[in-house]
Amino acid sequence: MIPIEEAERIVDEITRQPNTLSTEKIPLMDSLGRVLGQDIVSTISMPPFDKSAMDGYAVISGDDANRFEIVEIIAAGSVPQKTIAKGQCAKIMTGAMLPPGADRVIKQEVTEEKDGFMVLTGEDKNINICYLGEDIKPGDVVLKTGSLIRPPEIGVIASMGLNSVRVYEKPRVGIITTGSEIVSPGQALAKGQIYNSNAYSIAAQVIRTGADIMVAGIVQDDKEHIRGKIADLLKHTQMVLISGGVSVGDFDFVPGILKDLGVCLHFEEIAAQPGRPTVFGTWNDVLIFGLPGNPVSTFIMFEVLARKALCRLMGYEFAPLFLKGVMKKKFHRKRVERAFFVPVKYDNEGFVEPVEYHGSAHLAALPQANALLTVPMGVHEIAEGSVVYVRQI
């Protein structure tokens, strides 16, 4: 049994290969949730011209005229025709080009217009100009290879004039559910059976991370069947996630089968609760996680170990967000041989409170939680009021 930190370190080390991922060029609007496979280098300045930041009047700064003759009206998108001289101004709209001669814009709110002249009714201390290239200059790297493409990145890429983008190809993740008691949702439950929730929650976690899934379905606890399914997925995916069959029961065949298939196992037991029998191995470039069947264990071990590894396969570095909070009540436990992942609720005041949780089969506890508190090995108690960092889930 290895500490969870050691397990994280092993996964980290093994997945930190040089990036040899292939890329593809896709339409910009298909790229949400994908990972940039190219630097985005600007060929333009942003803004591309000195522009007004306000609706108002473009003037020469220091011009102390009582009233300003309006020589033209400049709409956004049009090119100014007149040069501004002392005693003159151009009515200008937000986003419009600054006319030659002018070097400041007085916002409309402190002015009045009368007989073709602008008169000041108040004071505007601001310059109200966005200068050519103040945000971006040609040659600037605006987004780096390996960036996750979210709505702001989509906007930035579009602002560079690009309507397609090079991204890393999506990894394919194989999912196998083992267990002779497992039945698909939509079917009737017979005695002794239980619905397959793991294949669904794992698939959702993979999809949320941004990868594709290849679902091998439910496999009975039968060595030959399990071996056949795993062997098949190893050939067609970059990561295989196996639910169940990793513990010490008479029908927990997965670790033995992985060894038979030539998978190199890097660990088979972690000092984590839930998640003790989690298995991690590699076969050529394929990463394999055997996740304990109890649904909370499956979910948590994916979040803690597999998610970062999957992100690496997608071409980006994922770091979970840890929120700083304060324990609302004391947390106490008797046994301390393993690190304990506690589903907790982190509220808007920054308080952390464990949700009602009966153990690793209690899947219905998870929707109540939005974070995980890690109680380290050897720690019996976390006092009320103490500061903790919880992992957002």
Cα gap 61→86, rounded to integer Å = 9
Cα gap 308→177, rounded to integer Å = 22
CB nearer to ligand AMP: give 42 or 360.
360
Q: Which of residues 304-343 bind Mg ion (CB under 5 A)?
A: none
Cα gap 319→323, rounded to integer Å = 12
Q: Is 88 in the site for ligand AMP (CB under 6 A)?
A: no
Q: Which of residues 151-190 bind Mg ion (CB under 5 A)?
A: 179
Q: Using DSSP, state whether 94 is helix, strand or coil.
A: coil
Cβ atoms of 372 and 390 closer than 8 Å:
yes
Q: Is 242 in the site for ligand AMP (CB under 6 A)?
A: no
Binding mask 284-323 for ligand AMP (x = CB under 6 A): --------xxxx----------------------------
Q: What is the nearest approach in angstroms of ligand AMP to the Cβ of residue 226?
A: 11
Q: What is the nearest approach in angstroms of ligand AMP to the Cβ of residue 250?
A: 10
Q: Which of residues 186-215 bind ligand AMP (CB under 6 A)?
A: 194, 196-199
Helix ranges restricted to H, the chain: 4-15, 151-159, 198-209, 223-236, 254-260, 295-301, 307-314
> Which amino acid makes up residue 387?
V
Cα gap 367→49, rounded to integer Å = 50
Binding residue for ligand AMP, selected from 99, 210, 244, 315, defined by CB under 6 A: 244
Sign of CA pseudo-dihedral 243, 248, 252, 256: positive
Q: Of the ranges 43-51, 132-140, 175-183, 258-266, which one interacts with ligand AMP (CB under 6 A)?
A: 175-183
Q: What residue 198 binds from ligand AMP, Mg ion, none (CB within 5 to 8 A, per partner kind)?
A: ligand AMP
Tokens 């709409």 label which residue?
Answer: 75
Q: Is 350 in the site for ligand AMP (CB under 6 A)?
A: no
Closest residue to ligand AMP: CB criterion = 293
Give the number of residues in contact with Mg ion, rule: CB under 5 A.
4
Cβ atoms of 104 and 60 closer than 8 Å:
yes
**Residue 217 bridge partners (DSSP):** 176
Contacts of 300 (CB under 8 A, 6+ apart): 274, 275, 341, 372
Q: Which of residues 275-304 bind Mg ion (CB under 5 A)?
A: 293
Interaction site with ligand AMP (CB under 6 A): 177, 179, 181-182, 194, 196-199, 243-247, 249, 252, 292-295, 361
